[in-house]
A and B are shown apart, each in its own frame.
Chain A
Amino acid sequence: MTDIDTLWDVVVVGGGNAALCAAIEAAEVGASVIILEGAPLDYRGGNSRHTRNFRCMHQGPLSVLTDSYEEDEYFDDLLRVTKGETDEILARLTIGTSETCLPWMEKQGVRFQPSLSGTLSLSRTNAFFLGGGKALVNAYYNRAADLGVTVIYEAQVKHVDIKDGIFSGVDCEIAGVTTRINGKSVVLASGGFQADLDWLVRAWGPAAKNFLIRGTPYNRGVVLKDMLNQGAESVGDPTQCHAVAIDGRAPKYDGGIVTRLDCVPFSVVVNKDGQRFYDEGEDVWPKRYAIWGRLVAAQPDQVAYSIIDSKSINAFMPSVFPPVQADTIEGLGQQLGISGDVLKATVAAFNASCRPGTFHGNELDGLATEGLAPPKTNWARPITDPPFYGYELRPGVTFTYLGLKVDETARVTGAGGRMFNVWAAGEIMAGSILGQGYLAGFGMTIGTVFGRIAGREAAAHVT
C-alpha cells in the first residue's frame, strides 16, 4: 500500500461520482490525490452505485440522446420540480456544463446505452449508463487507478481540520484505526445524511424510524455535520428528505431501484385501518411516486397497502418480490395483516363508485369514480376479478436536501466568507440547486459538473 503519511495535494472525502470526477480532474493535471471512501470496496460509490442515468442538455442528437434538450427547457423542468427553490446561477452553470460532461465521461471509460425498456420517456433528456451506476463507478475507479490516485476504503472521516478558513488535514478512522491525513486542499463529496436514522428522526419526527433507506448505509452525514458545526454556511431545508413509496418488504438499506412499485395508479391504496386516504389516479406514476412517500409517511405506522385484481397485475413493471395473493378481498386483507371485513367494505364502496368507460393504462384516461371521497380520478376500474393482489408500501428515503453552500467554483462558504482551500461537490452541496422535489438523473449531473469543477479548482490552487 502507498504510504499515506505525506502531504497530499488534494484530499477527496467520499468515493462516489462527484468524488471520482474531482479526483480524476485533479490527477489529470498532475496533483497527488487520495480518495477516502467510507465504504468497503464491495459497497464503494455511495448512492451513485444505485443510479442509472445522467440528465444532459444537448442542442442536437448526442451519443445515445435523441433530438435536443436545450438549456431553457431543462431549467424550466428544474423550476417546476423545485417550485423555485434553486440558485439560478448555479443551476444554469450545471445545465450548461452538462453537455460537455457527456463526452468527457465517455473519455474516462463510462459507457452509455439507449434508454432502458419502460423508460422511453427519458430517451431525450437522460443518458443511461451501460450497466447502471455501479458500472460508471467501476470505470471511474479504473481511470483513477491509471492516473495514480490512491484510494483508501473503509476510511471514515470524522473531522475536517479547518482553522480560519484554511484546511490542513482530516482525522479519520481507517478500518477502525485513527489516522490523520494531511493535505493542501480538500474536496468534500461525502453525500447527505439520509442513512443516519437518528438524525432523520430529529429532523422529521419519530415516524422517520420506520422509513426505509433506498441507498447506501454509509451516507451518515458525519462530514456535513462537522462542517456545519465549524460554521460552514448551509443550504436546503434541514427537515426535508426526498422519499418515495416503495415495496414495504425492501431491505432497511440499499434496496435500490428494484424496490420501486408502479402499481399504485391501478390500485386502491388503504392504510392499516383499511381506509383510503388519497386519489391514487391523480396523475401518471412518474409524476406522483414522490408525493406518495410523504402520503404513506403520514399514515399510522408509516405503512399502506396497494390492492389490485388480476386485470391489473401485468399493467406495470414487475416487482422484486411477488405480491401477496388471495382469492377473496377478505383473505387478502388477513394475509396483509389488516381487517378483511373493513378492506372488503372499502373495496366494495370503491367498486360501487366506478363508472363505465375505457381504460388506458399509459395515459390519463379520465376513468374516475363518482361520489367517492377521496376520489380516484383516473384508471378507476372495479376490483372484482380474482386472484387479488396486495403490496405493502413504505416510504423509502432517497436523499436529503440539507447541504453546504458553495459558489460557482464549488468553493465552500464559511462564517468568514469563502474558505481558502475547501471545495464541495455532489449530494453534500446539491441542496443549493435542487432545494425541493426531484428531477431524474439531475443528482448525477450536479455531481459530475461540480466534482469536475472542484477537482480542477483544488488542483489549480496547489500547483
Chain B
Amino acid sequence: MSLDIINLATLDATQEARRQIEICNACRYCEGYCAVFPAITKQRAFTDGDVTQLANLCHNCRGCYYACQYTAPHEFDLNLPAILAEVRHDSWDRYAWPQGFAGAFQRSGTSIALALVAGLALIFAALVVLRPASGEGFYAYLSHAGMVAIFAPAFILPLVAIAIGLRRYWRDVGGARITLAHLRDAFGSAASMRNLGGGQGQGCNFEDGDRYSNKRRVAHQLVMYGFLLCFASTSSGTVLHYGFGLEAPYGFFSLPKLLGIPGGIMLSIGAIWLIALKLRAESALGAASAWGGDIAFVLLLGLTGFTGLLLNASTGTALVGPMLAVHLGAVLTFFLTTPYSKMVHGFYRLAALIRDAQQRT
C-alpha cells in the first residue's frame, strides 16, 4: 500500500489512538476484559501497523471505557473504544480495493439505501428481460442460468476485493505464516464472540451503561449464525443442483429449507435486536462517523433473511415473482457492497484474531 493514500485525518486518528494506548500501557487495569490489553502490554512502542491491529482486535465491548479513571472530563480524555473504532473504520477504507469505492457504504446509510434501489431495479429488469419460457417455482421467473450469470460474479468479485484488502492488512500488521492452531484459536474466539464476554462471560457494556449484559453478544451471534445457515442453505442447493441433479423448488424436509428457514428467522430477529440495542447504546463510544452506515448494513442483512422467508412463504402464489425480485435484489446489493460496507469487519476481525493468536504463542 502506498503512503500517499493515507489522508491526514487517518493519521490523526492513529496518533490519537497511540496516545491513548500508551496511557493504557502505563495503567493496565483493563487486562482482564478482552484480547486488546494483553496485546498492548507485550509492547512499549506502537507502529501504525500495531495500532491498526489493536483497532481491529477491539470488539467495542466498552468495558474499558466504563472502568477508566481517565475518561473526560479528566484531562487525559481517554475513550479507547471510540478511537479504536475510528481507526478500524479508517483502516477498512485504506485497504479497500479498488480504492475508488473506499468508504462508499460503511459510513453512509443513504448510499446503502440507494444501492438497494439499484439492486432491486437490476433484478426487476432481469426478470423482465431474461424471463424464461418455462420453469418451476422461482425458475419460472428467472432461469437457473440467469441467476448464475448474475450471482456468480456478484459473489466472486467482492471476495477477490476483500482478499486483496486482507493481504494489505496482513502485511501492515506484520502477519506470519498461519498454522492450524492459529485458526483454531481465532475461529474459536469468533464462534463464541469471546471478546464480547467481558473477560468472565458477564457480557459487555453496551445498551445499559456500565451494567454488563450479554444481549449484544447473543444478538450478534443470531445474525452471524443465521447468516451462515442461509449461506449454507444456498450452498446446499448448489450442491444438490450440480451434484445430484436435484433442482429447486425443494421440499420442506430438504437441506436448503432445513438450513434456510431457521437461518432466515435468526437473521431477521438478530438484526432487529441488534438495531434496537444500538439505538439504546451511547453512540459516542463507537465510530460516530459510521453510525448510519452500520444501521443500514444491519437492516440490509436482516432484509436478505426476511425477504428469503417471505419468498419461501409465497410459494405457489402470484407473489413469488415480486418476492423473488425483492429477495434477489437485497442479496445482490448485500454481496456487491460487502467489500465496502460494515460486512468487512468480519474478515478483518478474523485476521486480527489470527494475528493475535500468533503474537500470543
Contact = CB atoms under 8 A, between A and B. Distances in A.
Interface of A: 42-43, 49-50, 52, 111, 113-114, 116-118, 128-135, 138, 142, 251, 254, 256-258, 260, 314, 317-320, 322
Contacts of B195: none
Interface string B184-227: 00000000000000011010000000110000000000000000
Interface in B160-202: 199-200, 202
Interface in B24-54: 25-33, 38, 41, 44
A130 B199 contact: yes
A107 to B, nearest CB: 14
B254 interface: no
Contact of B26 (A131, A134, A318): A318
Contact of A111 (B23, B28, B200): B200
Q: Which of A114, A129, A132 has the most CB of B within 10 A?
A: A132
B4 interface: no
A113 B199 contact: yes
A257 B78 CA distance: 15
B32 A130 contact: yes
Given A117-B41, A318-B22, A319-B26, A42 B71 contact: yes
Contacts of A132: 27, 29-30, 67, 69
B75 A251 contact: yes
A320 B211 contact: no
A3 to B, nearest CB: 25
A260 B25 CA distance: 12
A114 B210 CA distance: 21
B68 interface: yes
B27 A258 contact: yes
A131 B41 contact: no
Contacts of A254: 69, 74
Nearest to B199: A130
B70 interface: yes
A158 B119 CA distance: 68
Nearest to B210: A138
A131 B67 contact: yes
| Shortest 9 CB-CB contacts between residues of A and residues of B | A131-B67, A132-B29, A113-B32, A135-B67, A258-B26, A320-B26, A138-B210, A130-B32, A258-B27
Q: Which of A114, A129, A138 has the most CB of B within 10 A?
A: A138
Contacts of A320: 22-23, 26-27
Given A111-B200, A320-B22, 20 more contacts: A50-B69, A111-B32, A116-B28, A116-B31, A117-B38, A128-B32, A131-B29, A131-B33, A131-B66, A132-B69, A133-B69, A134-B67, A135-B63, A257-B26, A257-B29, A318-B25, A319-B26, A320-B23, A320-B27, A322-B22
A416 to B, nearest CB: 41
B316 interface: no
B67 A138 contact: yes
A447 to B, nearest CB: 17
B64 interface: yes
A52 B41 contact: no
A312 to B, nearest CB: 13
B69 to A, nearest CB: 5
Nearest to A142: B211
Contacts of A318: 22, 25-26, 44
Contacts of A257: 26-27, 29, 69
Nearest to B205: A138
A133 B22 CA distance: 20
Contacts of A260: 26
Contacts of A133: 29, 69
Contacts of B41: 117
A131 B63 contact: yes
Nearest to A53: B29
Interface residues of B, number: 32
B28 A134 contact: no
A256 B211 contact: no
Nearest to B68: A134
Contacts of A43: 73
Contacts of B67: 130-132, 134-135, 138
Q: Which of A131, A142, A256 has the most CB of B within 10 A?
A: A131
A116 B31 CA distance: 7
B93 to A, nearest CB: 29
Interface in B53-83: 63-64, 66-76
Contacts of A258: 23, 26-27, 70, 76
B270 to A, nearest CB: 27
Q: Which of B25, B69, B73, B200 has the most CB of A within 10 A?
A: B69
A42 B73 CA distance: 7
24 contacts: A42-B71, A117-B28, A130-B32, A131-B30, A131-B32, A131-B63, A131-B64, A131-B67, A132-B27, A132-B69, A135-B67, A138-B210, A142-B211, A251-B75, A251-B76, A254-B69, A256-B69, A258-B23, A258-B27, A258-B76, A317-B26, A318-B44, A320-B22, A320-B26
A128 B29 CA distance: 9
A110 to B, nearest CB: 11
Contacts of B27: 132, 256-258, 320
A132 B69 CA distance: 9
Nearest to A132: B29
Interface string B2-34: 000000000000000000001101111111110
A151 B71 CA distance: 21
Contacts of A129: 29
B339 to A, nearest CB: 36
Given A132-B69, A134-B67, A258-B23, A52 B29 contact: yes
Contacts of B70: 256, 258
B258 to A, nearest CB: 41
Contacts of B26: 257-258, 260, 317-320
A322 B22 CA distance: 9
A198 to B, nearest CB: 23
A153 B64 CA distance: 23
A257 B27 CA distance: 6
A52 B32 CA distance: 12
Contacts of B210: 135, 138, 142
Nearest to B211: A142
Given A135-B66, A138-B210, A318-B22, A118 B200 contact: no
B202 A111 contact: yes
Q: Which of A49, A117, A118, A258 has the most CB of B within 10 A?
A: A258
Contacts of A138: 66-67, 210
Nearest to B30: A131
A142 to B, nearest CB: 6
Contacts of A117: 28, 31, 38, 41
Contacts of B202: 111
A43 B75 CA distance: 12
B70 to A, nearest CB: 7
Nearest to A257: B27
A42 B69 CA distance: 9
B217 to A, nearest CB: 17
Contacts of B38: 117
